[in-house]
Amino acid sequence: FRRVLFRSAWTYIRTFAYGTLLCGDEITTAGMRLLAHPAAGDPPMVSGESGAVTAGLLTALCLDPACGELRQRLGLNQDSAVLLISTEGDTDPEHWRQVVSG
């Protein structure tokens, strides 16, 4: 049963994915901190490495001048709507606490 679901999900990802990006630990930990300590009015979120990397990446894409060309290629601007899905909590609670408190 799991194999069928995996193949089905992979079919969609393979068909509709625009590309992939490789991120370093600094992007991942930035995402973990951002989600744990959000802007005023937003609820905090406990998210581990795999779940938080997209938040860290989106932040880097939006704020880092070095990402300007990639941001433009992706069509990412102030009018963009982006959906991030975190599928992981703090699978290593001690490491999560170290990251978000630092």
**CA angle, corner 53, sides to 4 and 37, nearest 5?**
125
First and final C-alpha spacing in the chain: 42
> Is 57 within 8 Å of 23 (Cβ atoms)?
yes
DSSP state of 81: -
Of 6-10, 22-26, 53-57, the one with minimum mean pLDDT is 6-10
Q: By the 8 A CB rule, do 86 and 52 touch?
A: yes
Select the more confidently predicted residue: 3 or 56. 56
Can you give the C-alpha Rg of the chain in angstroms? 15
- Report the predicted TM-score, pTM, of the whole model to 2 decimal places: 0.80
